[in-house]
Structure 1
Amino acid sequence: MPASFKDILNQYIDALGCTASQLSRYSGISGATISRYRSGERIPSPDSQHFELLCQAISQLAVENGQSDLTFQKIADSFSTAADMNPQLENRFSRNFHALLSSLSISVSDLARALNYDSSYISRIRNGQRTPSDPRLFAEGTAHFVVKRYPEASHRTMVARLTGCDPQELMDDTAYFEVLSQWLIQGENKEKDDLSDFLRKLDEFDLNEYIRVIHFDKMKVPSVPFQFPISKSYYGLSEMMDSELAFLKTTVLSKSMEAVTMYSDMPMEEMAKDPDFPKKWMFGMAVMLKKGLHLNQIHCLNRSFTDMMLGLESWIPMYMTGQISPYYLKTPANLTFSHLLKVSGSAALSGEAITGFHENGRYYLTNNKEEVAYYKKRAEHLLSKALPLMEIYGKDSRSLYHAFLHSDIASGGSRYGILSSLPLYTADEALLCQIMDHNQVTPEERTQILSHAREQLEMALQILSRDTITEEMPLLTEEEFHRSPMRLSLSGIFCEKDIFYSWDDYQKHLLLLKKFQECHPNYTCRLTTETAFSNIQIQIHKGSWVMVSKNKAPAMHFLIRHPKMLHAFENMVIPISDTAQMPHKASAAPAADHTDPEDWK
């Protein structure tokens, strides 16, 4: 495990037989600062003058001590191997720490109490704002906590997925501790970034393309009765998948138009590995929606984050139809038993298994009227305990969407946005009209867009009068722009027409954006040289909600309040690199009309 900066410094002091006061005199660095370096309270930046003076002083003391082989470069190189001096290792630690807390749903407050740290300090380590003064000690403390509080086989399996080892290797507590503590500092995260993967799929999803590929528009709801015994039991994972498909067939082929209620806290990863089941299941769901049935889907979010996001990914196409009402249960699911309940007007599917032994579960499908009535009551009771997972706003609910935005202005709190285009409200009307002129925008559309921009500006100014807004957005080179021109972001008015910037428009908007930031101290713009998404925007009202807005195909807004998902969004590592904050000073503005990306770095 890499040593920390303080460890290497103290090793040099011991090897040279010098004192901290001597090192202070030779380097010109105050004794108090040297003391903080030795305790790990502070670490000099590798490119700072203090770091250079420190290395020179150690080298000089080494020469006087007869150790001329300890050159300045050798000393600097040894410090660069420290975990807390190496940005790559530092970022890896925060990423791994965040992945561990997310995968096991570890409470920050519980961990803070166990390690005797402040919760806010743990949170800053998690999001990369801080690095532990002694990474090894912190990693070992975290590993001890996990071994003690998360001893179940299911927990060890999750850690095995993160670390890339065989779950059997972690059955011994000592091995569990050693693998986890070493991985936190040195290991590569073997588990995919589930939240970013979910957002990427949402960003790429095109409902029209999806409808064309599965022939949804030509799909006919079959009317030939599907016969199966009044009741049937299914055993094991393979038969469990058969029972799911049989339930969908029975529901589709019945005459009932009653809403369908579905709930499952069964693990999903094994089913997702089957090459055929996901396609058949998706087709069955598509036919059910084509029939016009409304679906109350109760999601289980008290499962691993991987399972949770995997489930939500599969629901993206269905959410776009507007026929889904997503819910979740606030009370955690029983960690010993796993359950499944799916009920329609004509059939019911009930399943049970011991958690961790999904392959030995039993699933019971029935179309017996009395039994279906019983399971309907169970579904109604379950639904009464559920809370909305997210509010989905489409064209039909635009008034509710705008009502929410206006009501939220009154609530305080900082806002953070990850945008795929420049914010509409920072452009003036002259520029917007110029953009619309060469996009053949109709007079009606023009009026609507200008009104929307004014409304957005009014809301932004109200927020900025007392709170902060920080937004990330792409900074494109001319080559990148011509390869994929930026579009006006118009999901707020559910406009799916492509209205493109010209390169000149884009440059003018960048300058207006800079002026907007200079005039509003509470506004911060961060331009990125790489963008993660091209068709979605993410708005976060810290501690309250996150909204994922899809610009087109179709334009929709997903308002999420669930604490676990909100926390994941607030702490996610977006796959964006080379972030450059836009300079505030007017003197930094480029002299030319066009903006070179280097001017923003």
Structure 2
Amino acid sequence: MKFDEKFNLLMNLLNIPNNKLAKALSVDPSLISRWRNGSRDPVRNSTYIELISQYIVTHTSDKQCLYELINLTQFDTQEQLAKALSEWMVVDHVSDSTFANRFLSHLSKNIAPVASNLHPEYMDNQHKGKKLSVEVFHGNEGKRKGVIRFLSAVIATPKPCELLLYSDEPMTWLLEDPQFLKKWGVLLNDVIAQGHRIKIIHTIDRNPKELIAAIDRWLPLYLSGGIEPYYYPNYQEALFKRTMFIAPGIGALTSSAMADVESMEQVYYRDHNMITILQNEFDSYLHLCRPLMKIFTEKNITDFHELLHEFEMQDGDLTYMSSSPPLVMLPYDSLCEKLYASKLSQESIEYYKNFYIKRKHAFYEHLKNNNRYDLIHLPEKEIFSSLHHAFSNVNSLILHEGMIISHSLLLQQLESVKKAIKSNKHYHVILNAHPLPNGILISYKKNIGVIIYKTTEPLIIFAINHPLMMKAFEAYIDELSIDRHYSDHDHLTVLQEIDYWIQNQN
């Protein structure tokens, strides 16, 4: 890769605008554009490359992405990382003239092939490979049979294991047969129901049709909480594609094919040595991958609380969308009353009280230097009675901050919202924004991540920071709020709207 290719990759991957970098370097944005398109390179002994590296290291929150990109281990200081990045940017993998020089040098020596002679000492008919018992499946129909064979073997094994799945081959074999697609889903559900877990490396750069199909296939399975999805951040289309479905200690299904060509042969191994070899290959690739999303259920909710605190404390404007105000708008005494009325242990009650205090502190700390936009779609009076007892479980309150617990608690939250609007210039509320799909909440920070809460059974939370997926949610939020652009002059209007809503509840 040349300088312009590396520079352009960094700018795109880290979402750095030309004008921001130009301002930091005190140069015209057109110069940044010329560096990116290759029409001009910075002089290698100039300070520009060093300044670019320092800016990137200082302004990106995703240091791990840089480590993976330059294929180096983590550094102790930002200065060390910036120096390594500078060196990576100016060193080509192979200099332009190296190949030509080597080629012409050998050519000038008139090197001829070695004369053909029989050399018995190099020949040994005793070296024979190990014979394995394998099963071979041919064509797309065979591929479907192979997958059924693989999943059936997993289901027949009483001891749970962790399945390892990866494929960047065309998915026609899966999509062209609706009956098989249904059977495939049932078998995977059975696998997860038996306690098996799945690690899957998704190929993000598939065409839009396959990406949408992937969501349709995998999202229902994500709800189980038994799947860990990953992706390779630097994936590029390759001439040859690969499939590896591995169940350690049970079996492995593998195939390969040229791009856009269906593989005609799939091999199922039961040999433990071969399964281990394929598992090591998968693990090596997984080491280079990143989580596509993190999935949380009640089983690992404390892990989510740690991630949520980190998310809320990071700088950046936050957009929150729900059918009721956030948990921190519930008065502390009301929260305690709800907790003590529950069947939680005293230890859990203390944990959730501390969790609430920590959340409230993070809420107001964030507002010191960042904007927060709460887009709240309150229920109409005539339908509220049907929601009155809908969410009375205390776990729902803790898991999903915007749950409607009761009419009286919602009114208390709105009074807290009014106080927050009056006392914080960075806190903005858009009332009766477009509703989200039933039982969904969203928290979004640009360039940081998006958190999606599913508040109906089964309760589940998705935390996502993949750039393409975040862009999609940013566009979605913009579409929902396009007719309610916020300005500082709207505070009074919102306060009036809240008072009007409260008055109409009596």
TM above 0.5, one fold? yes
Q: 1:542 aligns with which of 429, 441, 446?
A: 446
CA contact (8 A) 2:244 2:252 kept: yes
Per-residue deviation at 1:543? 0.4
Matches within 5 A, 1:513-592: 513-528=417-432, 530-572=434-476, 576=480, 580=484, 584-586=490-492, 589-590=495-496
Per-residue deviation at 1:464? 0.3
In structure 1, the residue corresponding to 2:436 is in which secondary structure? coil
Instruction: Name 1:340's counterpart in structure 2.
Output: 243
Matches within 5 A, 1:392-411: 392-411=295-314
Per-residue deviation at 1:119? 6.7
* Shift in CA distance, 241/478, structure 1 to aligned 2, threshold 3 Å: same
* Shift in CA distance, 407/492, structure 1 to aligned 2, threshold 3 Å: farther
Instruction: Name 1:426's counterpart in structure 2.
Output: 329
- Could you tell me how far apart the structure 2 residues matched to 1:540 and 1:452 are? 21
Task: Indicate the percent of aligned positions where both proteins have the same amino acid.
Answer: 20
* Shift in CA distance, 240/333, structure 1 to aligned 2, threshold 3 Å: farther
CA contact (8 A) 1:527 1:580 kept: no
- Could you tell me how far apart the structure 2 residues matched to 1:497 and 1:592 are? 17
Q: 1:242 aligns with which of 136, 145, 152?
A: 145
* Shift in CA distance, 431/377, structure 1 to aligned 2, threshold 3 Å: closer
- Could you tell me how far apart the structure 2 residues matched to 1:579 and 1:534 are? 21
Q: Residue deviations 1:370-390, cap 9 Å, x none?
A: 433332232222222222222
Per-residue deviation at 1:424? 2.0
Matches within 5 A, 1:58-457: 230-254=133-157, 257-268=160-171, 271-272=174-175, 274-344=177-247, 345-358=249-262, 361-429=264-332, 436=338, 441=342, 452-457=355-360
* Shift in CA distance, 478/269, structure 1 to aligned 2, threshold 3 Å: farther
In structure 2, the residue corresponding to 1:338 is in which secondary structure? strand
Per-residue deviation at 1:490? 5.9
Corresponding letter in the other structure for 2:205: N
Per-residue deviation at 1:263? 0.4
CA contact (8 A) 1:349 1:363 kept: yes
In structure 1, the residue corresponding to 2:469 is in which secondary structure? helix
* Shift in CA distance, 361/516, structure 1 to aligned 2, threshold 3 Å: farther
* Shift in CA distance, 559/271, structure 1 to aligned 2, threshold 3 Å: same
Instruction: Name 2:405's counterpart in structure 1.
Output: 500
Any gaps of 5 or more consecutive residues in structure 1?
1-105, 111-117, 122-228
> How high is the TM-score relative to the length of structure 1?
0.54
- Could you tell me how far apart the structure 2 residues matched to 1:593 and 1:433 are? 26
Q: Residue deviations 1:326-357, cap 9 Å, x none?
A: 21112214344332111112211112333333
CA contact (8 A) 1:495 1:552 kept: no
- Could you tell me how far apart the structure 2 residues matched to 1:238 and 1:591 are? 61
CA contact (8 A) 1:475 1:597 kept: no
Residue 374 of structure 2 corresponds to residue 471 of structure 1: yes
Q: Residue deviations 1:29-74, cap 9 Å, x none?
A: xxxxxxxxxxxxxxxxxxxxxxxxxxxxxxxxxxxxxxxxxxxxxx
Greater alpha carbon shift after TM alignment, 321-330 vs 507-516: 507-516
In structure 1, the residue corresponding to 2:237 is in which secondary structure? coil
Per-residue deviation at 1:413? 1.4
- Could you tell me how far apart the structure 2 residues matched to 1:591 and 1:417 are? 19
* Shift in CA distance, 458/491, structure 1 to aligned 2, threshold 3 Å: farther
- Could you tell me how far apart the structure 1 residues matched to 2:494 and 2:404 are? 30
CA contact (8 A) 1:349 1:364 kept: yes
Greater alpha carbon shift after TM alignment, 440-449 vs 525-534: 440-449
* Shift in CA distance, 561/366, structure 1 to aligned 2, threshold 3 Å: same
Per-residue deviation at 1:540? 1.5
Corresponding letter in the other structure for 1:595: W
Residue 501 of structure 2 corresponds to residue 595 of structure 1: yes
CA contact (8 A) 1:532 1:574 kept: no
* Shift in CA distance, 364/518, structure 1 to aligned 2, threshold 3 Å: same
In structure 1, the residue corresponding to 2:178 is in which secondary structure? coil
Q: Aligned-pair RMSD on alpha carbons? A: 4.1
Per-residue deviation at 1:461? 0.2
Greater alpha carbon shift after TM alignment, 476-485 vs 324-333: 476-485
- Paired residues, number: 376
In structure 1, the residue corresponding to 2:457 is in which secondary structure? coil
In structure 2, the residue corresponding to 1:517 is in which secondary structure? helix
Any gaps of 5 or more consecutive residues in structure 2?
1-7, 21-131
* Shift in CA distance, 556/587, structure 1 to aligned 2, threshold 3 Å: closer
* Shift in CA distance, 544/233, structure 1 to aligned 2, threshold 3 Å: same
Corresponding letter in the other structure for 2:214: G
> How high is the TM-score relative to the length of structure 2?
0.62
Matches within 5 A, 1:15-54: none
- Could you tell me how far apart the structure 1 residues matched to 2:143 and 2:478 are? 36
Per-residue deviation at 1:325? 2.3
CA contact (8 A) 1:262 1:298 kept: yes
Q: Residue deviations 1:267-317, cap 9 Å, x none?
A: 447734533222211222122223332322111112124423432443334
Corresponding letter in the other structure for 1:494: L
CA contact (8 A) 2:431 2:497 kept: no
* Shift in CA distance, 453/546, structure 1 to aligned 2, threshold 3 Å: same
CA contact (8 A) 2:233 2:289 kept: yes
Per-residue deviation at 1:447? 7.0
Per-residue deviation at 1:463? 0.4
